[in-house]
Amino acid sequence: MLSDATRDLEKWSSCRSNCEPNSQINLPLRARLPPLSTLRAFEAVARLGSVSRAAEELGRTHGAVSKQLRALHEEVGLSLFDKAGTGIAPNATGRMLAAAVGDALDQLAGRFTEIVRDARSPVVHVACSASFAMGWLVPHLPEFSAEHPDIRIRLSMTSAREMRNERDADLVVLWDRSAYPPEDQARAIRLADSAFGIVAAPHYAVRRSAKMLSAACQILHEHTSRAWDRWTAQTGVRVEAPTTISFPHTHLCIGAAVAGMGIAIAERRLAEGDLKAGRLVEVAAFAPFADGFAAIPNGHKPISAETGQFLEWLRAALES
């Protein structure tokens, strides 16, 4: 008596002498694909090694899955399975096709889940520096979530330089807009005042006078010196240091100052925790920067209601 696997293989392979693969050379790529139902059935059988188990997983009958595989064999004009003991296993061609179909189905399932989830729970995509995200925004986000439980925030955290390329974000939150195109600067929505000051570890040696601040080492941001330049212009105090050290993120600059490596400049909100804890001291006054914090909305789509609600919350939270 023939086993189910043997009968299945005979049915699927019976078309090979009578059928040639469909001629689809002139069709668009997507039109050349077999029906998705046949590919799902094939992938499940190849992965599970059994038509019966695949039918159970897919919620179909053994006969329905077998019919789908026969249709696929007729489509490609090739055998995709060999007998293996009492079951079946994909041959070399079948294994390659099964891997490709499995990857595509995983990607499709992931995107489907993401799209449906986003439609049910709107997402506001916010780009900002990693330092601002970790030092202020993330600790305050639970407040926004409590007020707006149906809105999810997706964060893109990056460096000041790379943030300029975040073109998919609904909002880019920043303080220094000087490197952005004029059209982006014109769209910027002011959020709150900002103030920058010079900080150092409590016992780090700093010499101060009315017009000069001297230290052994000045800690710089690798991607922008604008904060130092603007602070000097705002206060009239020059900074003198025979050596410098650079880091790509503000939070690393602050961390280096905490470690006693030199003097750093920081926005008041980002240094507040270390100042209150005594890990840093203010060695020169915090000076307000006129432009303050701002958000640049995406120029390719209108501001959604959810993005507007996040902007209102962000403005109030920064000012509190």
Cα-Cα-Cα-Cα dihedral sign, residues 56, 57, 62, 64: positive
**88: which strand partners?**
83
- DSSP of 56-70: HHHT--HHHHHHHHH
> What domains lie within the chain, and their CATH numbers?
4-118 (1.10.10.10), 123-188+306-319 (3.40.190.10), 194-292 (3.40.190.10)
Closest among 268, 281, 267, 218 to 247, alpha carbons compared: 218
What is the value of pTM for the model shown? 0.62
What would you measure as the largest C-alpha separation in the chain, in angstroms?
102
Distance from chain centroid for Cα 84 = 44
CA distance 72 to 59: 19
Per-residue pLDDT at 19: 47
> Which parts of the chain register pLDDT below 50?
1, 16-20
Per-residue pLDDT at 34: 86
Strand pairing class (238-240; 212-215): parallel
CA distance 102 to 85: 24
Per-residue pLDDT at 180: 81
Radius of gyration of the CA atoms of the chain, in A? 31
CA distance 175 to 296: 10
Helix (H) or strand (E) holding 261: none
CA distance 284 to 196: 10
Q: Which residues contact 258 (CB under 8 A, 6 or more apart)?
A: 201, 274, 279, 280
For residue 1, CA distances in Å to 4, 5, 294 come to 9, 12, 77
Per-residue pLDDT at 159: 57
Per-residue pLDDT at 257: 98
Strand pairing class (238-240; 81-84): unpaired
Per-residue pLDDT at 137: 95
